[in-house]
Structure 1
Amino acid sequence: MRLTIASGAAAFTAAFLLSPLFGGGNWFWTSLGAVLAVMGAGLLSSRLALPAWAAPLVGLAVTWIYLTFAFTSDKAWALLVPTKESVVELVRLLGVGWADIQRYAAPVPDTEGITLLTASGVALIAIVVDLFAVRLRRAALAGLPLLALAMVPATILPDPISWPAFILAALGFIGLLVADGHERVGRWGRAVLVRRTRVPAGPPAAGSMPANGLRLSGKRIGFAAIAMAVLLPALLPAMEPVSFFTFGVGGTGAGRGNSISIPNPIANLKGQLELPEPQEVLSYTNSDNIPRYLRIYALDTFDGQQFGMTEPKGAPQNRTDNGPLPEPTGLGAGTPKKNVVTDIRISDQIERLAFLPLPYPPRQIQVDGDWRADVDTLMVFSTREEAAGLEYQVQTSEPQPTADLLDSIGDREPNVDPRYLEVPDSLSPEVRQLAADLTAEAGSRYEAAVTLQRFFTTDGGFTYNLRTQGHSASALRDFLLRDRAGYCEQFAASMAVLARLVGIPSRVAIGYTGGVQLAGRWSVGTNDSHSWPELYFEGVGWLPFEPTPAGAAGQGSARVPEYSQPRPEATAVATAAPTSGASSVADDTPQDPQARRNIRELEAEGQAAAGTVDVDESMPLIGMIGIGAAALALVLLIPAAIRLVTRTRRVRSLGRDDAEPSGDRAATASPGRQPSAVVAAWAELDDLLYDYGIARVPSESPRALARRLAEQYELEDDPAAALASIAAAVERVLYARNPGRIGPMRQDLRTVRKALAAWVPRGRRVRAVLLPPSTLRRLRGFGERLLDGFDLLETIRLRWTAAQKGS
């Protein structure tokens, strides 16, 4: 019975790991009922002593009855007994649930079909766990089906598993192992509790074994393992993937199963830009032979620190092989368009990319596999396919707005999802004021957008630099108001935030610039990774802007859109009165392939020719190794520091309480009172012996210990007298009503230490200083006392059992 209940509890605690996958709580209670039904079937099988192969069949039957009652009771006989109609309805609900999972992305709504699928899956896991742990007596193997539950959120969700859920699931599995150990050891006889207490335990019964002693050790190991699994990852530095073709920490989730994971596309953007030798990601040709930005992700949410992406949703009708894709949001019939056909070939070495790089907006895609379009953003993704080595054709209908057109529609109220205008209240007031000041004289939203772009490219004094701060509200404020140095991700995100503050819907696109034309094909490499903002204008839709300064762009093929450039009359004025940096914005589409090369490469070549190559400010490997070794040495010296502080405190106290008590104080001194100097001296002597590896028998009196040490180590007269003096002082404090005057013991303790050190090998003396065993003993004892706290539950259970037997 104990093992059956433990197996059910382990299955249910592991089911808590599924919580992030659902948007409601119905699945929880339904799964709990399914686990209870399996537990009931297991108890029935154990009661009837059924063979191991029959117990799972009973579990399946009981689960079927429970699911019939929970979902199709109106079609069952007496609400419980399955009928033909109830079976048909269950099958239909399973099909609906499967379709819903295909349609929705996590967190999914807990519809009736999804709840049925979840409860059925948890019940099957519980049945397998019961089979391994109870029927086959292989409790350790029961961890495999429990691990299957953990793998579902781990492979679907980008975030790590919640540590409270992990702890709960681990405790459930440890409880199963403890119950199995209790059942096995309990067969040998009565279990006797073994504890480190001052009250001696009674002798065990004949044939018995110290079962609880073994079990408590197992619990300590289990709790320690859980603590290390939770705490160590928090203490270790975060690691990012080294692969140059991976988008996001842990990859994008290449589409295993029925949901895709949200990538963190910004995570590797900087890493690709810093590659010394760019690698080709893709190549393409198009019908007009003009390079275009290829968007992969559209980040639409802003939390005050960085932009994130709402997980896309692809319905079956939005599959690419079903014909044209959904119409782009906001693009009106009156806006002129240009139809372009692009043939794209992805490198076969790209890893875990489940999104297609596409020019925006795609109208129709011819690609092999199950690829679907998100209606809101027109990102094309797959939950089953990977883009590596893929070849596909994209037909686009690109809006061709002019500055006059955008100016004329700039005052139209945007009819778009409110999330594209959301900015947290915690955003710095200085940033809000900056947005208002920059666009104060703009006559329309379009003029405000152009003003913001010009602020980053020319007017604001921004520079391109890969060595920037991280993501935080203060980093955004410092970038806009103080440092004004960053790379494309900072420029794109900052312009998108300022646009939202002035009422322009915005999002951040992540992808690639047009690349370099080689042998008739446009080649796009890792150095062409780019980020840019997309702003929304009613009647035209989403348009890209380019806030990265053109004079220091990290991508040789980055370009400012024609509709966002100054009008011809403004260009004429600028030509008459040129200003620094203005010409670089107008001429943004170089025709020479050499000019399209990454500007950082050209700058490095020029500096090398002039003999003025920048010094790499990053720390060399030997320096990083040295810092790591120093940090490790400091950690290892913690016990030595604790020992030094303890010994110093004791030595300082050796001169205290050495005066003889007199008068009423001496008369009322209790036998248990110990002057601090004697306590400190005896404790220091005890640690000294332990550090030097000198055995001390617990039954020895202080006088007997002093006599044995003097004889065993052949101490001279002075060390022997000093040791005898310390022992006499300890005995007087312990046993005398009035210990009298206690002389100074600092010199005695120093004499004893020198005498004993002369008999100890040098290696042991070094260890006593650098890694003192006495301090390690205290640290180990502290950890054991913490783990002993968990044993209180066992004590309560034993006492409750003993009380019941006594009654």
Structure 2
Amino acid sequence: MRLTIASGVASFTAAILLYPLFQGGTWFWTSLGAVLAVVAAGLISSRLSLPAWAAPLLGLAATWVYLTVAFAAGKAWAVVIPTKSSVLELARLLGTGWDDIQRFAAPVPETRGITLLTAGGVAVIAIAVDLLAARVRRAALAGLPLLALATVPATILAEPISWPAFIVAALGFVSLLISDGRERVGHWGRAVLVRRTRSATSPSPSRSAPGGARAAADTRGLRLSGKRIGFAAILLAVLLPAALPAMEPVSFFTFGVGGRGSGPGNSISIANPIASLKGQLDLPERRVVLTYTNNDDTPRYLRIYALDTFDGQQFGMTQPKGAPQNRTENGPLPPPPGLGRDPQITNVVTSVQISDDLARLRFLPLPYPPRQIRVDGDWRADVDTLMVFSTREEAAGIEYEVLTSEPKPTASLLESLDGAQPNTDPRFLRLPENLPPEIAQLADEVTAGAGTTYEAAVKLQEFFTRTGGFTYSLRTQGHGNSALRDFLLRDRTGYCEQFAASMAVLARLVGIPSRVAIGYTGGVKMGDRWEVGTNDSHSWPELYFEGVGWLPFEPTPSGAAGQGSARVPEYTQPRPETTEESTSPTPGATSSSADEPQDPSARRNPREVDREGTVLPGELPPDDSMPLIAQIGIGAAALLLVLLIPAGVRMVTRNRRVRSLGFKVAQPADELTARMASSRSHTSVAAAWAELDDVLYDYGMARGASETPRALARRLTQQYEFDAGSAAAITNIASAVERVLFARDAGRIEPMRKDLRKVRQALAATTSRGRRVRAVLLPPSTLRRLRLLGERLLDGFDLLENIGLRRTAAQKGS
């Protein structure tokens, strides 16, 4: 029966790991009831000595009855007996729960269907653990279903498993192994109760069992060693990963970004980017998402995702790759793909503050292209797209600074790059084979007459914003070839997702690499900061031009009839020859006085720039955080303080004994000192003797368990050749101890501070310097107390075992 109970405990402690998946605690109590039902069925199986194959069937029946009572009591006969109606109700709830799991992201709300699925799943795991541990007697294999339960939050959530929950689950499995070992030892013969003793020097004598049974071997050491191994393994499993360097995530264990052509389910710990975009635009009232400032006070698009694959349904995102060398803390990010030396570059520093309400976002909204980022946490840049993401951190509430080196292309420059072959991944041109031919024909018609790739891109943008008769509306939905065909050829009504995706598809049809960006427009100016709200959520296409790289285009109608904060890029508008000096805001390029040639001697002192809150071109503001050497120093000091804890405890104990003789002091756990400490009038002798005992232990001269005070004084005097003063001091201490122990009237006892100091100095003179240093910095007497405390904690398991043994012995004796 012990194994059945231990199996239930192990199953439920493993189920505690599921807590991050739910918003409330109903699942906890419901799962506990399911485990108790399985345990009750297991106890009945053991009591009736049913075969191993029958126990799981009884467990399933008990689970069925429990779930009927908990979820379909109104349709059951007498609340307990399942009926056809109750079975149909449970089946309906299971289907509803499965649909809810597919619909919600963790943490999920505790609907009745989800709670039923959770309780039933935990019960099935408990039945499997009971079968392997209590029926088949393979307790180690029972860890497999427990591991399967633990992998559920590990695969769904990006956060690591909570270490307190892991410790609880690991302790449950260790208790199962201990119970299995106890059962196996019990099969060797009749168990004999052996009372523990506190003597550390001699083992307890064996005792005869009632009824003439032979004395049993003392196996306390084996059990204690097993518990120490179990606890040490759990401790290492918790502490060792924190000490190891972070490893590069691989595709099997990283967060759920859809692969190439993965379809609508592409997401990274949040809803699919396109669904999230539509959801924010549909909110009834505007909510602030982030605010930002920059050194040229110009609004910019802030990109979060770059969707690069099109599968015929919608655009998806390739798994981003962030190597350790691409961490933001390592300095500049990888260079922007395709950017050459011809375009004029504008260096801009932007400071972004994310709202605390932006939940489960693991990508940073950034102007493109970012070159360097200062942000706390493990954030990494994808080499291909320069998206900055994290597998551990969330963007909510953080503040960061980003340096962008934005190209400022001109129409003439883009036309001159027409002959350059794009050096990009083929996925930016890939289209499904079943794309309707009418769409390809439309692309050819719209770009007819374009002499260069740039002219073709401009014609595509003008088709959506001017000549095509498109209108902006949030009421449209749908993906796939039919939705794309209807949008381009028939309805021509949609919102930014349809406009961005359609232009990207048409661009690929005419040979221009393209992708779809999702993020926010520049927002509105509120005071001294730009404020971005949910209504500024936006999607736009990015087209690739060799020598300039990825450039944003804006096919979505702007103004009152469209996306209010959308801006058409300056390099795509008809302009006079002097447009290079224009300062109108664009999503992809801005102007700055930093681009003008400057006399080096005329540059301002960097400290003046810092004082005014601005920065030099091409640099991030100086980091005001603590230097690395200071952080290392603080860490070393903290480690030193931790290592000196035993020394501090020893010093406090010594001062309490020597200077506060009237206070009851801590003593070694032996009978001799305990008897002395019982007399309140002689606490000074007990303090002196306890301190002498610790000094001897610290110097490796421990007192023998049967050695009397007088014999100890004689041995120390002869062995270490004490001088007359030291010999008299140790003799006085020994004499006082014997009078307290054995004399009817101990008489007046003189203070022993000086005697104790002389003996300690004499003992220290006989030991090596290393031993003296260890006695001060890492005193063995303090470590001994800590070890004894740990053994007492481990003996808690034996208390439960002895209770079971006494009950068994009493039943057999009666």
Shorter-normalised TM range: 0.5 to 0.7
Residue by residue over 1:47-81, the C-alpha shift from the partner in whole angstroms, topping out at 9 and shown as x without a partner, is: 56555456445545665676677767899999989
Residue by residue over 1:280-333, the C-alpha shift from the partner in whole angstroms, topping out at 9 and shown as x without a partner, is: 68789xxxx9x9xxxxxx999736xxx434899xxxxxxxxxxxxxxxxxxxxx
SS in 2 for 1:631: helix
Which residue does the alignment assign to 1:642? 649
Distance change in 2, residues 1:201/1:804 (3 Å) = farther
- The structural deviation recorded for 1:703 is 0.9
SS in 1 for 2:15: helix
Q: 2:713 aligns with which of 706, 719, 729?
A: 706
Distance change in 2, residues 1:180/1:741 (3 Å) = same
Is the aligned partner of 1:770 residue 2:742? no
Which residue does the alignment assign to 1:415? none
SS in 2 for 1:140: coil
Residue by residue over 1:344-373, the C-alpha shift from the partner in whole angstroms, topping out at 9 and shown as x without a partner, is: 98589999799999x9999889899xxxxx
Residue by residue over 1:614-670, the C-alpha shift from the partner in whole angstroms, topping out at 9 and shown as x without a partner, is: 98877776665555444333322222233334434545468999xxxxxxxxxxx99
Is the aligned partner of 1:308 residue 2:309? no
**Which letter does structure 1 place at the counterpart of 2:207?**
P
Distance change in 2, residues 1:538/1:98 (3 Å) = farther
Q: 1-side partners of 2:195 and 2:797: how far apart?
A: 14
Which residue does the alignment assign to 2:127? 127
Does the aligned pair in 2 maintain the 1:37–1:62 contact within 8 Å?
Answer: yes
Is the aligned partner of 1:779 residue 2:783? no
Is the aligned partner of 1:691 residue 2:742? no
**Which letter does structure 1 place at the counterpart of 2:191?**
R
Q: 1:208 aligns with which of 216, 219, 224?
A: 216
Is the aligned partner of 1:450 residue 2:454? no
Does the aligned pair in 1 maintain the 2:514–2:544 contact within 8 Å?
Answer: no
Distance change in 2, residues 1:559/1:629 (3 Å) = farther
Q: 1:261 aligns with which of 269, 276, 291?
A: 269
Q: 2-side partners of 1:395 and 1:652: how far apart?
A: 77
**Which letter does structure 2 place at the counterpart of 1:151?**
T
Q: 2-side partners of 1:648 and 1:111: how far apart?
A: 61
- The structural deviation recorded for 1:693 is 0.9
Residue by residue over 1:71-121, the C-alpha shift from the partner in whole angstroms, topping out at 9 and shown as x without a partner, is: 678999999898999888766654443333212222334445434433332
Distance change in 2, residues 1:756/1:89 (3 Å) = closer
Unaligned runs of 5+ in 1: 292-297, 313-343, 369-374, 380-390, 402-445, 457-491, 497-504, 525-535, 546-557, 563-574, 576-581, 597-602, 658-668
Does the aligned pair in 1 maintain the 2:583–2:590 contact within 8 Å?
Answer: no
Which residue does the alignment assign to 1:761? 768
- The structural deviation recorded for 1:697 is 1.4
Q: 2-side partners of 1:364 and 1:84: how far apart?
A: 41
Q: 1-side partners of 2:266 and 2:585: how far apart?
A: 46
Residue by residue over 1:483-509, the C-alpha shift from the partner in whole angstroms, topping out at 9 and shown as x without a partner, is: xxxxxxxxx7xx46xxxxxxxx65897
- The structural deviation recorded for 1:706 is 0.8
Does the aligned pair in 1 maintain the 2:256–2:267 contact within 8 Å?
Answer: no
Unaligned runs of 5+ in 2: 260-264, 272-288, 290-303, 306-321, 346-351, 364-382, 396-426, 429-460, 462-471, 482-493, 499-511, 553-557, 573-580, 597-602, 608-614, 665-675
Distance change in 2, residues 1:170/1:259 (3 Å) = farther
Alpha-carbon RMSD across the aligned residues, in angstroms, is 6.6
Residue by residue over 1:762-785, the C-alpha shift from the partner in whole angstroms, topping out at 9 and shown as x without a partner, is: 332332222211121223334444
Does the aligned pair in 1 maintain the 2:31–2:123 contact within 8 Å?
Answer: yes
Does the aligned pair in 1 maintain the 2:513–2:544 contact within 8 Å?
Answer: no
Which residue does the alignment assign to 2:143? 143
Q: 1-side partners of 2:539 and 2:700: how far apart?
A: 65
Distance change in 2, residues 1:277/1:640 (3 Å) = same
Does the aligned pair in 2 maintain the 1:361–1:398 contact within 8 Å?
Answer: no
Distance change in 2, residues 1:279/1:777 (3 Å) = same
Q: 1-side partners of 2:538 and 2:224: how far apart?
A: 54
Q: 1:278 aligns with which of 314, 333, 336?
A: 333
Q: 1-side partners of 2:725 and 2:519: how far apart?
A: 99
Distance change in 2, residues 1:203/1:89 (3 Å) = same
Q: 1:519 aligns with which of 533, 539, 547?
A: 547
Q: 5 Å matches for 1:383-782?
A: 449-452=524-527, 455-456=528-529, 495=531, 518-519=546-547, 521-522=549-550, 543=565, 589-590=589-590, 625=632, 627-652=634-659, 672-782=679-789
Q: 2-side partners of 1:767 and 1:670: how far apart?
A: 29
Does the aligned pair in 1 maintain the 2:517–2:542 contact within 8 Å?
Answer: no
Does the aligned pair in 1 maintain the 2:497–2:540 contact within 8 Å?
Answer: no
Q: 1-side partners of 2:255 and 2:194: how far apart?
A: 51
Does the aligned pair in 2 maintain the 1:674–1:733 contact within 8 Å?
Answer: no
Does the aligned pair in 1 maintain the 2:518–2:540 contact within 8 Å?
Answer: no
Distance change in 2, residues 1:259/1:767 (3 Å) = same
Q: 5 Å matches for 1:279-298?
A: 279=334
Q: 1-side partners of 2:65 and 2:34: how far apart?
A: 10
- The structural deviation recorded for 1:595 is 5.4
Q: 5 Å matches for 1:57-96?
A: 59-60=59-60, 63=63, 94-96=94-96
- The structural deviation recorded for 1:42 is 3.5
Moved more, 762-771 or 695-704: 762-771
User: Sequence identity of aligned pairs in percent?
Assistant: 53
SS in 2 for 1:141: coil
Which residue does the alignment assign to 1:14? 14
Does the aligned pair in 1 maintain the 2:677–2:686 contact within 8 Å?
Answer: no
**Which letter does structure 2 place at the counterpart of 1:308?**
A
Q: 1-side partners of 2:80 and 2:190: how far apart?
A: 43
Is the aligned partner of 1:174 residue 2:174? yes
Q: 2-side partners of 1:364 and 1:352: how far apart?
A: 31
Q: 2-side partners of 1:274 and 1:177: how far apart?
A: 45
SS in 2 for 1:151: helix
Does the aligned pair in 1 maintain the 2:689–2:733 contact within 8 Å?
Answer: yes
Residue by residue over 1:211-258, the C-alpha shift from the partner in whole angstroms, topping out at 9 and shown as x without a partner, is: 67755665576567767877x699x79x99687x99xxx965447999
TM-score of the aligned structures, taking structure 2 as reference length: 0.54
Which residue does the alignment assign to 1:39? 39
Moved more, 170-179 or 617-626: 617-626
- The structural deviation recorded for 1:152 is 1.4
**Which letter does structure 2 place at the counterpart of 1:731?**
E
Moved more, 391-400 or 3-12: 391-400
Q: 1-side partners of 2:620 and 2:714: how far apart?
A: 76
The total of aligned residue pairs comes to 585
TM-score of the aligned structures, taking structure 1 as reference length: 0.55
**Which letter does structure 2 place at the counterpart of 1:106?**
A
Does the aligned pair in 1 maintain the 2:496–2:539 contact within 8 Å?
Answer: no
Distance change in 2, residues 1:276/1:172 (3 Å) = closer
SS in 2 for 1:522: strand
SS in 1 for 2:550: strand
Q: 2-side partners of 1:763 and 1:523: how far apart?
A: 69
Distance change in 2, residues 1:677/1:377 (3 Å) = farther
Distance change in 2, residues 1:786/1:510 (3 Å) = farther
**Which letter does structure 2 place at the counterpart of 1:302?**
D
